[in-house]
Structure 1
Amino acid sequence: MIRSSLSIALLLAATTASAGALHGIDPDDINRNGNACTDFFDYANGAWRQQNPIPDYMDRWSRRWQSGEVNKEHVRDILNELSAKTDWPKGSAGQLAGDFYAACMDESRVDALGSKPVQPWLAEVDAIKDRAGLLRMIGKLHDVGVMVPFAVFASEDLHEPSRTIANIYAGGLGMPDRDYYLKTEPRFVEARAKYLEHVARMFELAGTGPDQAKQNAQTVFAFEKRLAEASLDNVQLRDPKLQDHPTAFADLPKLAPSFDWARYFDAAHMPHDALNVTQPGFLQQVDKELATTPLPQWKAYLKWQVLNAAADSLSKPFVEENFAFNGKFLTGATEIKPRWKRCAELTDNQLGEALGQKYVEKYFPPEAKARMQEMVKNILLAMDDTIRGLDWMDEATKKKALEKRATFFPKLGYPDKFKDYKGVVVTRDSAWDNVVSASRWNVADNRSQVGKPTDRSRWGMTPPTSNAYYNPLQNEIVFPAGILQPPAFDVNATDAVNYGAIGVVIGHEISHGFDDQGAQFDAQGRLANWWTPADNKQFQAKGQCVVNQFEGYFIEPGVHHNGKLVLGESIGDLAGAKIAYRAYLKSREGKGPEPTLNGFTPEQQFFIAWGQWRGDETRMETQRTMIQGDPHPIAKYRVNGPLSNLPAFQEAFQCKAGDPMVRPQADRCEVW
């Protein structure tokens, strides 16, 4: 909750006094040979990128990603401290996080074990004798987070988000998405060939003979291809209406009669309540596989999924083979991440709220939270002003939009109540067994919410995570402590810099409540229309402008963005920059302008801060993967795309009509 304005003012005063003079953007990052009005991405931090090539183990690099890696160093320091102590009370946050990390870091023990930790799982798959055994095995894999060939997770009811229900999702693919199995362009053909080699090698590492391993790979690919053919594509997955299929539990066997749903839900301790099937066609395909696919093919598929899930927790040959496909081929990284980074990431992923308690104590002081609260408040108010000032929306729709904005629920830093992980057993004996134990707890924790009133105190990211999100069903914007670090947010930076960096991120997440997806949810988080037909038509046209703009952004000849895929994120960037700038100007009312620093006005610093925060250098392999399935555009176009639409940017840098960073008036996009 937002503190009183008096307490915020006192904290801010104390922070400013202790910090002394506040700093602006880093002028050394700027490409002085570039031109802000020609290519702002190159101008804002081209010099930094020139001097800081992408590390071999990363797929992209900027001050934003460097900050994320520094954050992992902080996590490592905490974990080193926790793991150095061996007398923590059993089950305590210190014992769980410390021993989990220690077991992961014991590379010699992990290598000595080889594939031994996963062999019991493979043997159990081999022992399946009939369909009943196959169904039990699928349930056992789901229990530990290996969600194949479908997944079941708790989530808010699309029509009554105050309650949590079970959702059945499509899943079970080993490549990034369905198009890798189906499209005919050379890059997808190459990916399929590499994938077949990768799957075969993983089987060989687990003890399968070469010929059988190749046969298994062909079986796995054919199985997954059939699942891919029954799956929605990435653009379809962005439409919540296409995944809205409320289903009575009694009707579930009509979709997939070959699966024992009653036994599955009973074993998972989930009630036989109404649920949602996101892709009925996919579930029907799974049923067809259960009814017609021979058991040996199912066994090959399930064993592959076990190996795929376990690879990074097994010995070095498994880790290196997994990296060869998922790292080197798909992202272009040439070197695997240092072990400590991988172990820190894994500990955060599995036990993030145990680790997070220590993290926020050290890296997220109360004054940082207070300043963030003030910024969020101002940017939310700027969104109100933006809605009120729209000339294309009538008063009835404006009223609904303002009602929705008024119910926004910000979460900053960390949960009010941390998970206790009661019952998780972690030792220093086996890294994979620890992953299984923690995954089992996390799955059970998620399932425990089914059939209950929605718990709004729960978080979808851990406190050390360097990211943020918007959840339309709870109408919440969430900023973990891990992203509230320099250069995104710095208590010793000017408002211009903070509003230009984390402020645009805040505006971006707020805007997701009003992008092409979020706009389909009302003030209570329900999937429900609140638009007049005329206003909705205007909104769609404004979105189409953004689609058209991004369709014109190429990464190489013949390969361009899918405007519909990146529409939501691009609306978020466009509106985020606009309302954050508006909030920044509002925050200076009564205070006067901030000083010009290093020759840059505060308005220029605002936009440079965004360019420096978002200005990733990205490997071409990663760009290709992003273009295919990532709803986020390439960094260059996340910087240049929205800013080229904003008069405030053009005014700040005195850009003129005809400059590349000034879109022609007829093509200029403005949604919010």
Structure 2
Amino acid sequence: MPHAKPLACALILALVAGLAAPDALAQKKKRAKAKPAAVSAACTDFYAHANAGWFKVNALLPGVPALSAMEQLNDRARQQQLDLLNASMSAPQGNVQKLLGDFWASGLDEAAVERDGAAPIAPLLARIDAIKKPKDVAAAIAALHQVGIPVAFNFGADVDLNDLDRHIGYFSQGGLGLPDPAYYTRTDAPTRDLVGRYNGYMQKILVLTGVPQAEAAAQAQQAIELETRIAQFSRPLVDLRDPRRNYAAVPVDTLGKTYRNLQLAEFLKAQGVKDDAVSIANPELFAQLNVLVSQLKPAQWKTYLRWRVGDAMAPYLSRAWREPNFEFRGRLLGGQRLPVLRQYAVLDAINQAAGPMLAREYVARYLPDTSRARAQEIAANVRTALANSIDTDPRLGPQARTEAKAKLEALKIEVGAPRRDLDYTVQPMGRGSFGSNMLIASTWHHREEMKRIGRGNADRRWDVLPQQPALSYDITQNRLIVTAAVLQAPVFDLSQDTASQYGSFGALVGRELHHAIDNKGRFVDAKAEFRDWWTPSETAAWDTLAGRVASQYGAYPVPMAGGPKVNGTQVRDVAIADQAGVELAWAAFNATQSNPAQEARQNFYTGWARLWPQLLTREAATTLAASGVHPPGQWRANAPLINQSGFGEAFGCKAGAAMQAKADQRVTLWPGPATSM
């Protein structure tokens, strides 16, 4: 039959189709309901992914506005200092621990502090009472500076801007009890109210120094009048931000004639300073002081000096002194709700007056040689990575590259503590008087500071104590400073693998070393001379980079703030440094490893992200958005990784995912080895 074959074929096909229909329908349904392949948490928000464990065990306590991994590091270092002081108090090992233990014990003995009253400052008050004639004033000023109480003006050691290898003495404005010279002359109601409350505080302190209550108001007004005369010749605070405007070297041998009444030449001798030059950037102020010494009656100077001594020492004396000091300086000026716990107040006092002593013992106890050696090794490798990256820097021309490399070759890496130790010969303290011990330690500290003045002394100490977590680039000395306290988790952990160490510590080293050649480092060359070694085209290239970074960060929301975006312009310098740190550490890590495994590559980025977990109240997050120069923790962790192809390769993130920008949208500093595996 002519239609048999087609019909048979149709039946067979129908049968086959029928038999296959359930599976086919199932497949069709599956295809219809199929969802895109899930994007891993690492590719969505690596910050949350890497720090899930931290967020699980941490929460904000009532009244605490912020918490972060870095704050926990600070807290740990602080507790280590307390443990060290307690051990020094109970079983001191050596002379320095004996001094620290006695200092600590005297501060914790509140009953003894109450019994002590004003006794610790009695010798200083007697020295002031000995002033009879105008010529006695200058010697009393010098004597108070010797014990670490600056009056009338400030004097300290800092780098000579014309010779970065030396420190000179800086005579600068000071001697005021209010934080801004403008307070003394402004007439608006809030300022007048503040000055009135300042007057009331001053009266309380003067009475405690022995001034009769009936004379306190008149004497307080005399002290304020003297401070006002000083303030009128002091520069606005904004003018103090420019180091160049606050530096003016003058020969020491001219001081005797120029400031005869103030006796600045004799002042230097009293401080143990022997140098041929000092800086006096505001000669009008010191000319005014020179006049005031002879013009005002000695009694007015005595009142002012008694006030300044009482105010400076009030936090270390009995409750009668501490309470009015806290009400004015802590609560009114500082916004503190409550005084800090006694042990923390004493620790702060010890760090202020005897910080290098505590540093010496802290380093010995908490920094193993293995940690120091490993930190130096990683830092050196990152420095090499930066030197190599300069060759591929598209922004720097040949001359600038040569200068940058020379600067890196000369750069010093100092880990743990300053290279040069101090003289710890100090008057014995004992445990009887915390206030007296404070003066003993402060006198020692001032003596050691004065020793920094002179040629070849600029590297005598750091501007941060080794027991305080810090990792920073010192632009004037062209050195990387790594404190002992920062060499612990989450920054540095020997129990973690090499990749993690480079991702955390190595990246922080890279971000600081980058400052040697960035838009700030450009102003100091390899010979430690102040000059701009960038050309206008190199400056323009940097500005272009900064603009791209600002735009990238400006698109990110501020976590926990409820709406505001990150101020990209405000945070761009920190953001660029973070980007540099990650790129350089990645390059250094890969240079030391032969084809690292995927797990190691992932650990590198995890090490970086675990530096930045933070919790903020909405108010704290809003404040950060408005005024902070650091990006929120989420973007410090994520943004540099979004720009790295190596991150995408390590975690399998596709271009265009939240954690992997497309190639044409990535911001990178160096297009060479730093951004590839």
TM-score, normalised with respect to structure 1: 0.76
Distance (whole Å) between structure 1 residues aligned to residue 602 and residue 660 of structure 2? 19
Of the three residues 394, 408, 413, the one matched with 1:410 is 413
Of the three residues 60, 71, 76, the one matched with 1:53 is 60
Aligned partner of 1:419: which letter? L
Distance (whole Å) between structure 1 residues aligned to residue 232 and residue 554 of structure 2? 25
Distance (whole Å) between structure 2 residues aligned to residue 572 and residue 228 of structure 1? 36
Distance (whole Å) between structure 2 residues aligned to residue 626 and residue 637 of structure 1? 8
Q: How far off its partner does 1:398 sit?
A: 1.9
Of the three residues 435, 444, 454, the one matched with 1:451 is 454
- Aligned partner of residue 162 in structure 1, secondary structure: strand
- The correspondence of residues 84-483 of structure 1 with structure 2, limited to 5 A, is 84-85=90-91, 92-177=95-180, 195-208=198-211, 212-213=215-216, 220=223, 223-224=226-227, 227=230, 230-232=233-235, 236-252=239-255, 256=259, 258-287=261-290, 289-290=292-293, 295-416=298-419, 418-454=421-457, 456=459, 458-483=461-486
1:427/1:523 CA distance change after superposition, 3 Å? same
Aligned partner of 1:605: which letter? T
Q: Answer whether contact 1:593 1:602 (CA < 8 A) is retained.
A: no
Other-structure match for 1:575: 577
Other-structure match for 1:66: 72
Q: Answer whether contact 2:66 2:620 (CA < 8 A) is retained.
A: no
- The correspondence of residues 9-24 of structure 1 with structure 2, limited to 5 A, is none
- Aligned partner of residue 588 in structure 1, secondary structure: helix
Whether 1:605 aligns to 2:603 is no
Other-structure match for 2:493: 490
Q: How far off its partner does 1:142 sit?
A: 0.9
Distance (whole Å) between structure 1 residues aligned to residue 250 and residue 670 of structure 2? 35
The one-character-per-residue Cα deviations of 1:247-269 (angstroms, maximum 9, x if unpaired) are 12234467655421221122223
1:221/1:611 CA distance change after superposition, 3 Å? farther
Between 444-453 and 633-642, the greater mean CA deviation after superposition: 633-642
Other-structure match for 1:17: none
Q: Answer whether contact 1:475 1:524 (CA < 8 A) is retained.
A: no
Aligned partner of 2:77: which letter? N
Other-structure match for 1:27: none
Counting matched residue pairs gives: 623
Q: Answer whether contact 1:255 1:283 (CA < 8 A) is retained.
A: no
- Identical residues among aligned pairs (%): 24
Aligned partner of 1:610: which letter? L
Q: Answer whether contact 1:507 1:577 (CA < 8 A) is retained.
A: no
1:646/1:601 CA distance change after superposition, 3 Å? closer
1:59/1:310 CA distance change after superposition, 3 Å? farther
The one-character-per-residue Cα deviations of 1:48-76 (angstroms, maximum 9, x if unpaired) are 599443687x8864332232222222222
Whether 1:77 aligns to 2:83 is yes
Larger Rg over CA atoms: 2
- The correspondence of residues 506-521 of structure 1 with structure 2, limited to 5 A, is 506-514=509-517, 517-521=520-524
- Aligned partner of residue 133 in structure 1, secondary structure: helix
Distance (whole Å) between structure 1 residues aligned to residue 221 and residue 635 of structure 2? 44
Q: Answer whether contact 1:164 1:451 (CA < 8 A) is retained.
A: yes
Other-structure match for 2:586: 584
Q: Answer whether contact 2:413 2:479 (CA < 8 A) is retained.
A: yes
- Aligned partner of residue 164 in structure 2, secondary structure: coil
Q: How far off its partner does 1:396 sit?
A: 0.9
- Aligned partner of residue 335 in structure 1, secondary structure: coil
Other-structure match for 2:35: none
- Aligned partner of residue 163 in structure 1, secondary structure: strand
Distance (whole Å) between structure 1 residues aligned to residue 277 and residue 326 of structure 2? 41
Between 106-115 and 617-626, the greater mean CA deviation after superposition: 617-626
Whether 1:535 aligns to 2:538 is yes
Distance (whole Å) between structure 1 residues aligned to residue 602 and residue 666 of structure 2? 28
1:117/1:477 CA distance change after superposition, 3 Å? same
Q: How far off its partner does 1:109 sit?
A: 0.3
Q: Answer 1 or 2: higher relative contact order, Cα 8 Å, separation at least 6.
A: 1
Q: Answer whether contact 2:372 2:415 (CA < 8 A) is retained.
A: yes
Q: Answer whether contact 2:44 2:657 (CA < 8 A) is retained.
A: no
Distance (whole Å) between structure 1 residues aligned to residue 384 and residue 538 of structure 2? 22
Distance (whole Å) between structure 2 residues aligned to residue 191 and residue 550 of structure 1? 40
Between 148-157 and 586-595, the greater mean CA deviation after superposition: 586-595
1:382/1:222 CA distance change after superposition, 3 Å? farther
Aligned partner of 1:100: which letter? F
1:515/1:581 CA distance change after superposition, 3 Å? closer
Gaps of 5+ in 1: 1-33
Aligned partner of 1:586: which letter? A
Q: Answer whether contact 2:138 2:261 (CA < 8 A) is retained.
A: no
Whether 1:648 aligns to 2:640 is no
The one-character-per-residue Cα deviations of 1:375-415 (angstroms, maximum 9, x if unpaired) are 21132223324433332322112211221122111110134
Q: How far off its partner does 1:481 sit?
A: 0.8
Q: How far off its partner does 1:110 sit?
A: 0.6
Q: How far off its partner does 1:657 sit?
A: 8.9
Between 409-418 and 323-332, the greater mean CA deviation after superposition: 323-332
Distance (whole Å) between structure 1 residues aligned to residue 190 and residue 567 of structure 2? 16
Q: How far off its partner does 1:420 sit?
A: 3.6
Q: Answer whether contact 2:503 2:605 (CA < 8 A) is retained.
A: no
1:212/1:47 CA distance change after superposition, 3 Å? farther
TM-score, normalised with respect to structure 2: 0.76
1:601/1:162 CA distance change after superposition, 3 Å? closer
Distance (whole Å) between structure 2 residues aligned to residue 109 and residue 574 of structure 1? 53
Aligned partner of 1:149: which letter? A
The one-character-per-residue Cα deviations of 1:434-474 (angstroms, maximum 9, x if unpaired) are 12112212222222343343264544444322234433232
- The correspondence of residues 593-632 of structure 1 with structure 2, limited to 5 A, is 593=596, 601-602=602-603, 604-612=605-613, 615=614, 617=616
1:367/1:272 CA distance change after superposition, 3 Å? closer
1:252/1:501 CA distance change after superposition, 3 Å? farther
Other-structure match for 1:16: none
Q: Answer whether contact 2:151 2:308 (CA < 8 A) is retained.
A: yes
Q: Answer whether contact 2:47 2:634 (CA < 8 A) is retained.
A: yes
Q: Answer whether contact 1:54 1:61 (CA < 8 A) is retained.
A: no
Aligned partner of 2:581: which letter? I
Q: How far off its partner does 1:235 sit?
A: 5.4
